Structure 1
Amino acid sequence: MMAAFGFALMIVLIKISGERLPVTQILFVRQLGMALMLSPGIIANLPGSLKTEKMHLHGTRVLFALGAMLFGFTAVIHMPLAEATALGFAKSFFVTIFAVIILKETVGVYRWSAVAVGFIGVLVMLQPGTAGYSLYGLMAVAGAACAGLVMVVIRLLSRTEASQTILAYQAVGVGLVMMVPAWMYWVPPTPREWVLLALVAIVSYWSQKANIYAYKHGEASLLASLDYIRLVYATFFGWLLFHQLPSTLTLVGAGIIVLASIYTIHRETRRKQRLASDPDARGFNNS
């Protein structure tokens, strides 16, 4: 729950920072700060902390992590927090799709049905063809798609790479890519904005640390379900700080997305448990 609160606080800080600062600048400073906080561990474990035989996968992760953050942060800045957060939960549906395509996982009727229902929730929230339709809503979904692909790439990397190596390449790689656009569109921050940018980096770093610790010591499906508390935090912060309350359609769509996501995670956890107890049970099933 602390990680969920931290991630919700992070998007609040990004939204406030984005009132005047470009998203490229926010992302660059965030990555620079995270790289600095990771550097003691990286330096202490050199050269092993940067040793890899999967540079192409690290490059792929950096590219799509960049897309996830650029699309996601832009959506957060321009949309109500609750809407942007709920659309971001579509990530779990894209994880299922990309796991089938890339990892050749078997997905049965129940999980495909949950994915289909989840995308109905996305359409309810996007409201295509109406006055409520927004380019930023599409950007939130694009960010979720990129994040879903990142999760699948991390599964591939985690087979051979240490978690510190994965984090290091992502933090440094995205920061380096964003250096040029951040410099081109740099807006001198005020002292208040420097504090906000520093907090974005600090909160992001410690939220990720808390998330990693929780998944290391807790039950994965329960923790994944608790992550949806972020929507409650986002709704509260949106109301308190920005006077934003979700519409009825937003609540309906968000409810569909969250329930379908939780069900998808539940079925995925059951599948992993079956494979752990019977590694040969890889044929078609209804999970």
Structure 2
Amino acid sequence: MALNWFHRLPDNLKGIAYLMLASLVFSLMALMIKLLGQRLHLTQILLVRQIGMVVMVAPAILRNFPGSLRSARPGLQLLRVGCALVAMLCGFTAVIHMPLADATAIFFAKSFFVTILAVLFLAETVGVYRWSAVLIGFAGVLIMLQPGTDNFSIYGLASLTGAAGAAAVMILLRLLSRSDSPDTILSYGALGVGLVMILPGIYFWQRPTASEWFLLAAVAVVSYFAQKCNIFAYKHGEASLLASLDYVRLLWATLLGYLIFDQFPGLPTWFGAVIVIAAAIFTIYRETRRKQGWNSVRSGNDEN
């Protein structure tokens, strides 16, 4: 009963609330993976993470079995697994080898990839102003990457590739949430990625310390929680709008990177991030104006 006010909110606002919570939890997950990656191989981290995810989704799988594994669109589920692998392997490699804030800032290109993919696959309407914001945002990403200079890092390119993969996952979540339950979506993700990680995870296996086991378990728990929030966010809100709000993760990444690793973003990162964030904020502004315009037309109170 206490949450009735939340359920009465417009879908986009509910999506934003879920996304804000997911952003905080994802930042904590990235921090833990960076700590673990100082000694353990990424495939080992992901293998343990996926085992934990399978354990957590097992009750939902068994409760509704076999319906919990029955997808209306299995091809899209497998495609999502492939895109998730690209996003995780590339994105987390960048997180491990780059300052946390730098990897996070470059990953913001995800929001612009989502805008493009939302037009192509979700039939969302994007006007010239929002297309301009996308181009300006990518210019900011180039400033952070610094291609052609000694400061260019292949890990920055890995972060950008991970952003494209994550954007594809978001679009697929939006499509799958129309036909499949959140538990089915999580089950395919946990099982699919876990199966792929078995062989490389075992090959690169190193015996974790007690503290590393704790972090590995924590990564699995927060990953499950964050993904649930993310699924609900994209079930309720428009993909292009929600992606533009994810920039708040930079605040958490900067704070955590400074406190734990004594790393602080350089001037190119800040300059590029400001451009990307400004483009994202402009996207939100244009989306709000578009919604207000539609509401005015529907109510017969056109104030233009």
TM-score, normalized by length of structure 1? 0.87
Aligned partner of 2:211 among 192, 202, 216: 192
Figure out how many residues of one structure are paired with residues of the other and give that number: 279
Kindly indicate whether the alpha-carbon contact (under 8 Å) linking 1:92 and 1:264 is maintained by their aligned counterparts in 2. no
Aligned partner of 2:264 among 232, 242, 245: 245
Which residue of 1 is the match for residue 190 of structure 2? 171
Aligned partner of 1:50 among 69, 73, 87: 69
CA–CA distance in structure 1, aligned partners of residues 236 and 114 of structure 2: 23
Aligned partner of 2:132 among 91, 113, 119: 113
Kindly indicate whether the alpha-carbon contact (under 8 Å) linking 2:118 and 2:240 is maintained by their aligned counterparts in 1. no
| 2:105 equivalent to 1:86 | yes
Tell which deviates more after alignment, 108-117 or 208-217: 208-217
Kindly indicate whether the alpha-carbon contact (under 8 Å) linking 2:241 and 2:287 is maintained by their aligned counterparts in 1. no
Which residue of 2 is the match for residue 262 of structure 1? 281
Deviations 1:55-94 (A, max 9, x none): 1100100000010000000000000011111111111111
| 2:123 equivalent to 1:95 | no
CA–CA distance in structure 2, aligned partners of residues 264 and 226 of structure 1: 9
| Structure 2 residue identity aligned to 1:133 | F
| Structure 1 residue identity aligned to 2:107 | G
Per-residue deviation at 1:137?
0.2
CA–CA distance in structure 2, aligned partners of residues 218 and 103 of structure 1: 12
Residues 52 and 35 of structure 1, relative CA distance in 2, 3 Å threshold: same
CA–CA distance in structure 2, aligned partners of residues 152 and 3 of structure 1: 17
Deviations 1:227-271 (A, max 9, x none): 433211111111111110111111111111122123335545666
Which residue of 2 is the match for residue 138 of structure 1? 157
Per-residue deviation at 1:276?
9.4
Which residue of 1 is the match for residue 91 of structure 2? 72
| 2:231 equivalent to 1:209 | no
Kindly indicate whether the alpha-carbon contact (under 8 Å) linking 1:111 and 1:264 is maintained by their aligned counterparts in 2. yes
Deviations 1:188-215 (A, max 9, x none): 2122211111111112222333455677
| 2:181 equivalent to 1:162 | yes
Residues 271 and 68 of structure 1, relative CA distance in 2, 3 Å threshold: farther
Which residue of 2 is the match for residue 235 of structure 1? 254
TM-score, normalized by length of structure 2? 0.83
CA–CA distance in structure 2, aligned partners of residues 138 and 232 of structure 1: 22
Q: 1:261 aligns to what SS in structure 2?
A: helix
Kindly indicate whether the alpha-carbon contact (under 8 Å) linking 1:221 and 1:265 is maintained by their aligned counterparts in 2. no
Per-residue deviation at 1:171?
1.2
Residues 278 and 161 of structure 1, relative CA distance in 2, 3 Å threshold: farther
- Give 5+ residue unaligned stretches, structure 2: 1-19, 299-304
Aligned partner of 1:26 among 36, 45, 53: 45
- Give 5+ residue unaligned stretches, structure 1: 280-287
Aligned partner of 2:200 among 170, 181, 202: 181
| 2:27 equivalent to 1:8 | yes
CA–CA distance in structure 1, aligned partners of residues 43 and 293 of structure 2: 43
Kindly indicate whether the alpha-carbon contact (under 8 Å) linking 2:182 and 2:228 is maintained by their aligned counterparts in 1. no
CA–CA distance in structure 2, aligned partners of residues 49 and 278 of structure 1: 42
Per-residue deviation at 1:180?
1.2
Tell which deviates more after alignment, 81-90 or 217-226: 217-226
CA–CA distance in structure 2, aligned partners of residues 146 and 269 of structure 1: 27
CA–CA distance in structure 2, aligned partners of residues 23 and 209 of structure 1: 23
The percent of aligned pairs where both chains have the same amino acid is 60
CA–CA distance in structure 2, aligned partners of residues 203 and 61 of structure 1: 20
